[in-house]
Chain A
Amino acid sequence: MSLVNTQIVAILVLVIVFVAVVGVPRLRGGNKRPLRRIRAYDMLPAMVGSSIEADRPIHLSLGSAGVGSETTLLAIASAELVYYVVQRATIGDTPPIVSVSNPLTLPLAQDTLRRAYQSRGLSNRFSGLSARWYPSGSRSLAFAAGVTAMMGVERPSGHVLVGSYGAELALILMGTSRRRVPTIAASDQLDGQAIAYVMSDAPLIGEEVFVSNAYLGESARTETTALDLLRWLVILTMLGGAVVSIINRGV
């Protein structure tokens, strides 16, 4: 019985999100709503600019976010952010580097790079080797070691680490901090998120990774409007639940 209830709730949530994504933003003029400032998104254009000026690559990483696992949608959202950064960095001579630790994400990273170059009419400059796989090993420490070694060799001018990271993020961020390189970081794991908050120059927190389209893209603020609506729905449901619980106890 509880299983059926879970299924009904899941279907209900999907229907609400579908309506929120497709319908509500259009009805309420969602695309014109102002966005609150997020330091990481403010920093990105300057990071890309300094990468082009210094003729050094900008490093973007999706961590262990992987297609085919529970982090599939995080990988897709992070790839969207990578797309916008790479699109801006294509005018530079040194191509950006995209690192992943899940092999299934490698084709996604390569396709994102290809699309970004293609969107600027520079398909001939795209190289699949700009997307790199570093094996994760146990606890992703091998990935952290690989990325840290890459930092020493390629000397990236900035790092955008958005994806799934655990405590190994501390090793990477210690490396970027020692080299005094600006870093943006975010993780869907709580320990990784805490480390990103403490050690990066501009952390992205929680759902902020998922709204790069609204901040860096030319249009489409539908996600932010839909997210706001859903957030209010969750708040109201929680408050309603609390009120009902209090009333029931009183009775």
Chain B
Amino acid sequence: MRIRLGAALASALTFAIGLVVILGLLLPDETLLPQTWVNLIRSVTSVLLQLTTITAALAILVGIFNLLLVHLSRLFKRERGFLYSLVLIISFFVVIITYFFAREVNTLLLENIQRTVESALAGLLFFALVYGAYRMMHQRVTWASVVFILVVLFVLVAALPFDIPALQEIRAWLMSIPVNAGARGLLLGIALATVVTGVRVLIGVDRSYRD
């Protein structure tokens, strides 16, 4: 079996750093290890976590650079939708310039345009969800979809301000037992799969280290 040096190094580095960080986070205050070792592991973990935070802060620049390159490329090649790209690039520079030279205009743009548009989109969400329910029944009528729609309708009706205790009791039971159980099942499944993926990454069997 051929082992590439780069892949082996990447795996070794990941394993070593992962192990140190896990130890640093999981080591209790009182252990059999000498206190100087524990302190050393904790300070290395702290430095590694700080590095992650710094990298995360710098990554926003990578994102902005990517966004600009995608839209500049579309603009110069006169590809479909290049006018939208032009609007994006102009908006980008207007926001940067106003931030430095006219801070009030910048705040105004953010408050009056960005937030308003986002609020309008949030309002649209309700219609999107109703449309989704309609589409589900239109496309595939299965037992699961019928139960899903019935439960949604029941929960919505029971949330209305009618004084019908039985309705509200059933709603409370639905939310606390079947809905809660389903949600916990989903989250448990995701958590188990996350731990398995984590161990795969940690021991270097993930594909990204082999290619």
Residues of A within 8 A of B (CB): 3-4, 7, 10-11, 13-14, 17-18, 20-22, 68, 73-74, 76-77, 79-80, 83, 103-104, 106-107, 111-112, 115, 118-119, 128-129, 131-135, 137-139, 141-142, 144-145, 149, 152-154, 167-168, 170-171, 173-174, 177, 188, 190, 193, 195, 197-199, 205-207, 209-211, 213, 222-223, 226-227, 230-231, 234
Contacts and interface: CB of A to CB of B under 8 A. Distances in A.
Given A76-B201, A129-B69, A223-B200, A83 B136 contact: no
A209 B62 CA distance: 27
A17 B196 contact: yes
Contact of A133 (B66, B197, B205): B66
Interface of B: 22, 26-28, 52-53, 55-56, 59-60, 62-64, 66-67, 69-70, 73, 80-81, 84, 114, 117-118, 121-122, 124-125, 128-129, 131-133, 135-136, 148, 183, 185-190, 192-201, 203, 205-208, 211
A134 B70 CA distance: 11
Nearest to B194: A73
Interface of B is mostly: helix
A170 B129 contact: yes
B170 to A, nearest CB: 20
A129 to B, nearest CB: 5
A171 B124 contact: yes
Among A142, A171, A231, A234, find the residue whose CB has the most chain B CB atoms closer than 10 A. Answer: A171
B80 A153 contact: yes
Given A17-B199, A68-B52, A129-B73, A210 B194 contact: yes
Contacts of A170: 125, 128-129, 132
A106 B70 CA distance: 13
B200 A132 contact: no
Contacts of B56: 68, 104
7 contacts: A14-B22, A68-B53, A106-B59, A132-B66, A153-B84, A199-B136, A207-B193
Contacts of B195: 13-14, 17, 230
Contacts of B70: 129, 132
Given A133-B63, A231-B192, A234-B192, A21 B183 contact: no
A139 B122 contact: yes
Contacts of A154: 80-81
Nearest to A137: B118
B183 A190 contact: yes
B55 A174 contact: no
A14 B22 CA distance: 10
Given A68-B53, A135-B63, A190-B183, 9 more contacts: A14-B199, A17-B199, A18-B203, A76-B197, A107-B62, A174-B128, A198-B135, A207-B189, A210-B190
Q: What 5 A-B pairs have minimum CB-CB distances, sorted nearest first?
A: A153-B81, A103-B63, A207-B193, A210-B193, A206-B189
A7 B26 contact: yes
A14 B131 CA distance: 43
Contact of B190 (A17, A137, A207): A207
A106 B125 contact: no
